[in-house]
Amino acid sequence: MTTSDTRMPDPAVAQGGLDREAIKIANLAWETLLRAHASMMRGFLADDIWDQISAREYDVLYTLSKARGPVRQSEVLRGVVLSQPALSRLIDRLVCRGLVTRADDPDDRRSVLLGLSDRGRELQRAVGTRHGKIVAERMWQHLDREEMATLTALAAKLT
C-alpha cells in the first residue's frame, strides 16, 4: 500500500482544489469502474442461467432476499439499477407470477410492503447458487485475495 492509498484525501482536493489533474484522475477511475462493470455484466447476461427469470427480475428477488422481512419499494429501489416507474412495473409482473408478495404497510396506509413468496425464494436461491458460482469464478480469474479485499474496501467507501 502506498501513501496515496491512505484514508486521508489528497491534500490539494482536501483544500477544495480540484485542479485539472484531480478531475482527470477521478474521471478516469470512474470510467474504468463503469467499463469493468459493463464488461462483467455482459458476461453474466450471456450466461445460460436466465431461463426462468431475467437478470433484472433476479436483482429484485436478490434484494428482497437480503432484507430481514417485507420492505417498502423505496428500499428495493436502493438495491437495483432501475428507475422508480420501471421497478413498479417489474414488481407488478413479479407479483402476478407469484414470486413477490405485496401487503399493506400497517405503519403507513399509503405504502405497501414487498417480500418474497416461497416460490420466489426458491427461484432466487436456485438461480443465485448458479450465478454466485459464476461470479466467483470470473472474479478469481482476474483478482487475487488481496486485490479482492482492496476492491471490496474501495467499493464500500464509494457506497
Mean pLDDT of the chain: 90
15-72 tens-digit pLDDT = 667 888 999 999 999 999 999 999 999 999 999 999 999 999 999 999 999 999 999 9
Residue type, 90: L
Q: Kindly report the backbone phi and psi dihedral angles of residue 16, in degrees, each rounded to the nearest multiple of 5, phi listed first.
A: 80, 10
Measured CA to CA, the distance from residue 82 to residue 91 in angstroms comes to: 11
Query: How far is residue 25 from each of residues 31, 93, 105, measured CA to CA in Å?
Result: 10, 42, 46
Cell numbers found for residue 90 = 417489474
- Please give the pLDDT value at position 3: 43
Residue with cell 453474466: 44
- Please give the pLDDT value at position 100: 97
Q: Kindly report the backbone phi and psi dihedral angles of residue 68, in degrees, each rounded to the nearest multiple of 5, phi listed first.
A: -80, -5
pTM of the predicted model as reported, rounded to 2 decimal places: 0.80
Question: Is domain 47-158 in CATH 1.10.3720.10, yes or no?
Answer: no
